[in-house]
Structure 1
Amino acid sequence: MDLLAPTQRQVVFYLVPGFDILTFAAAMEAFRTANSVRGYGAYRWRLVSMDGHQVKANCGLYFQVTDSIASGRRHLSSTQRPNIVIVCSGSNAGDHAERSADAWLRECKRYGVTLAGLSTGAEILAGAGLLTDKRCTIHWQSLPGFVERFSRAHVSLGIFEVDGDVYTCAGGAAGFDMTAHLIGRDHGEEVVAGICEHVVVDRVRGTTVRQRLPLSKRTGTVNETLRFLIEKMEENLSEPDRIGNLADAVCLSRRQVERLFRFEFGCSPARYYRKLRLDYANRLLVETAMPVIDVAIACGFVSPSHFARCYRDTYGRSPQQMRLFSSLIRGAPAFALKSVART
């Protein structure tokens, strides 16, 4: 870039109530440090909320903003049009879907504005119809509900994804990686290296890095055969594969696979598989409004009564009770609780 004629890119952070402060700060700091490395204000930012009022982050702190969505829409046809709009949200993104925000984001897209979603910001973008047939990612805890709601989005478990001018990241420290990638697009890898030096980071991770810990760290096992079998189970939760077929895939007998699981986990492979499916079901119940029968089917249970019995045996509550309990914990409005109670 020509330093004699520096350009400045305008960034808008759209703050959704309950937004994840770690991801927001990681992205913001990347832009701030880029300005320091470049020696001029390469990026200028402002904060936007739905109504122009302050927004409460997930940590309880309140952030003052400079604009509302309404003024943001007016800026699109002025010199204050942003180059980048970043949606910042948290675990309750679905509770804050707004038609006017969706319309604004679609307008931004039509004006050629780069769009990004931090943490569950992908849910807001998808709700506006901006991730249809697009590669994207979202925090792994929100993945089950997201996949069920937005089946036309191509979701990965990478820490961030880039599809044209649409960026999404899984949250946490990945906000820095995604933003550094965006800055590298504008200013080159030398500037990104300078940013890493400033913030004492050894490297910027790429889109091929997966979100979750390696299976060996999550389960404590280093057995390659078991690792392969569990990954196959996780890939087929809605249509569970037969244990015999899994055994054939690793050239072992079913009895040998049974012994491996009992030695490592103290249970049969079938019970371990069911535990994975019930864990998936629990996330769908807590994080989505899917009917219980649809949750059962999505987790490979043909009979709703069998699903309810297995769920109660594992979690000590029926699926309906767990949904009501999680709604109470989140402080859902009364009308939502009545709806849950009738589910």
Structure 2
Amino acid sequence: MKAAERLFSLYLELGFSLQAFSSAVEALRLANEVLESEIYAWRVVSDDGHPVRSSCGLTISVDTSLKEERGLLGKTGWSPSVAVICGGSHPLSVNRALHGWLRECRARKLCLVGIASGVFSIAQTGLADGRRCAVHWEQFPSFVEQFPCVAAVQAAYEIDGDTYSCSGGDAAFDMFLQFVKEDYESPIANRVCEKATAMTVREPGDRQRLPLHAGAAINHDALLKIIEQMERHIDEPVALEDMAASSRLSRRQVERIFSKQIGRSPARYYLEMRLERAHLLILNSHLPIVEIAMACGFVSASHFSKAYRENYRLTPREARSEAIERRRSGHGTFAAAQAHENRRTSNWQGSGT
């Protein structure tokens, strides 16, 4: 092995993704099994040392509190080499104790890992500024609005120096397998995949999902290149002729490829992509509707509202009102965790600390 044994501190946010958490831990556990040695260890952390409720409603016990974990930094045999923030689909409010721990971890040269909404917690500290970070596509629009200094990408996972990030789900398995590859090269990682019956393992920067409306994997390189251009230019749409020319295709050729592979014209596909981005901003941000319209390439709020209503069967304001009402009514298993988080924040603010 090229490095000392690795100890991972896994901090669980309220409403964390159990799938992503278990995928990360399982990659390490299987690596130990293949190596026939306890090379990788992990310690599970919560704010107060109490069990944490996941997004699916299951509660996971932990090993220690955040305060106790911070006290272990720098202690031989107890200090971790990797700090992991396990999030879910809902970014939580600012947690100053967590931010203090993250800053001390970075000062001590630990790798920082953000899973799903855990990337938001790292970004809130400024420690991700200038770094490439993978963000889940549903969280991506609000993330780029909040953290313009972070090079956010819609990849399965990214590794930029000592900062690791993944979109969640089973991408956590792929990302944590990279730690094994760094230590033992591909043969051991391949055996881990065999035990996990993982047919394919994504590399850093690989797409986290199929293109919008794609029913199966797309193998047409020119089509993917044009779709990626569309994704990069949501706020200022690029003319189809320019995108076609960059792929050395004619406009008519591009239209035929889109129709065959996706069942939509390029113009309609681009519009729906921009509307999806706007929809996510409406649901997950507090930006005014007019700013969302401009951020998604619409020339006016009225034009945006008309296109949005035709696609979603309600106006942007109605969609936002419905989302707010769902959160107030406690829709979904995440509600209990969010209510607890709100109480924690209220108590912290009330204490004046």
Taking structure 1 as the reference length, the TM-score comes to: 0.83
| Corresponding residue number in structure 2 for 1:311 | 308
For the pair 1:85 / 2:83, whether they are aligned, the reply is yes
| Corresponding residue number in structure 2 for 1:206 | 203
Shift of residue 126 of structure 1?
0.9
Q: How do residues 182-197 of structure 1 correspond to structure 2 at under 5 angstroms?
A: 182-197=179-194
- Indicate conservation of the 8 Å contact 1:19/1:90, yes or no: yes
Pick closer, same or farther for the CA change 1:17–1:244 going to 2, 3 Å: same
- Indicate conservation of the 8 Å contact 1:12/1:45, yes or no: yes
For the pair 1:123 / 2:120, whether they are aligned, the reply is yes
| Corresponding residue number in structure 1 for 2:24 | 27
| Corresponding residue number in structure 1 for 2:162 | 165
Shift of residue 192 of structure 1?
1.8
Shift of residue 48 of structure 1?
0.7
Pick closer, same or farther for the CA change 1:206–1:234 going to 2, 3 Å: closer
Shift of residue 58 of structure 1?
1.2
- Indicate conservation of the 8 Å contact 2:309/2:315, yes or no: yes
| Corresponding residue number in structure 2 for 1:339 | none
Shift of residue 13 of structure 1?
0.7
Shift of residue 266 of structure 1?
7.9
Separation in 2, partners of 1:36, 1:257:
49
For the pair 1:11 / 2:5, whether they are aligned, the reply is no
What SS does structure 2 have at the residue aligned with 1:141? Answer: coil
1:40 is matched with which residue: 37, 41, 52?
37
- Indicate conservation of the 8 Å contact 2:214/2:262, yes or no: no
Shift of residue 259 of structure 1?
8.1
Please say which of residues 145-154 and 236-245 is displaced more in the overlay. 236-245
Pick closer, same or farther for the CA change 1:182–1:266 going to 2, 3 Å: closer
1:253-300 C-alpha deviation (Å, 9 max, x unpaired)? 68x877887898887654443222111100111122222222111101
- Indicate conservation of the 8 Å contact 1:216/1:222, yes or no: no
- Indicate conservation of the 8 Å contact 1:16/1:96, yes or no: no
What amino acid sits opposite 1:323 in the alignment? R
- Indicate conservation of the 8 Å contact 1:216/1:227, yes or no: no
| Corresponding residue number in structure 1 for 2:236 | 239
| Corresponding residue number in structure 2 for 1:274 | 271
Q: Which runs of 5+ in 2 are unaligned?
A: 343-353
What SS does structure 1 have at the residue aligned with 2:139? Answer: helix
- Indicate conservation of the 8 Å contact 1:136/1:160, yes or no: yes
Shift of residue 196 of structure 1?
2.2
Separation in 1, partners of 2:117, 2:259:
37
2:317 is matched with which residue: 301, 320, 324?
320
Separation in 1, partners of 2:165, 2:264:
38
Pick closer, same or farther for the CA change 1:90–1:187 going to 2, 3 Å: same
Taking structure 2 as the reference length, the TM-score comes to: 0.81
Shift of residue 326 of structure 1?
1.5
- Indicate conservation of the 8 Å contact 1:15/1:87, yes or no: yes
Separation in 2, partners of 1:262, 1:162:
35
Separation in 1, partners of 2:112, 2:314:
41
The number of aligned residues is: 330
Please say which of residues 106-115 and 304-313 is displaced more in the overlay. 304-313
What amino acid sits opposite 2:194 in the alignment? E
| Corresponding residue number in structure 1 for 2:152 | 155
Separation in 2, partners of 1:209, 1:260:
22
Shift of residue 134 of structure 1?
0.8
Q: Which runs of 5+ in 1 are unaligned?
A: 337-343
Separation in 2, partners of 1:20, 1:150:
22
What SS does structure 2 have at the residue aligned with 1:234? Answer: helix
What SS does structure 1 have at the residue aligned with 2:143? Answer: helix
Please say which of residues 188-197 and 7-16 is displaced more in the overlay. 188-197
Percent identity over the alignment is 38
Separation in 1, partners of 2:47, 2:82:
17
What amino acid sits opposite 1:57 in the alignment? S
Pick closer, same or farther for the CA change 1:258–1:188 going to 2, 3 Å: closer
Pick closer, same or farther for the CA change 1:159–1:276 going to 2, 3 Å: closer
Pick closer, same or farther for the CA change 1:258–1:160 going to 2, 3 Å: closer
What amino acid sits opposite 1:113 in the alignment? L
Shift of residue 252 of structure 1?
3.7
What SS does structure 1 have at the residue aligned with 2:302? Answer: helix
What SS does structure 1 have at the residue aligned with 2:319? Answer: helix
CA RMSD of aligned residues (A): 3.2
Please say which of residues 41-50 and 241-250 is displaced more in the overlay. 241-250
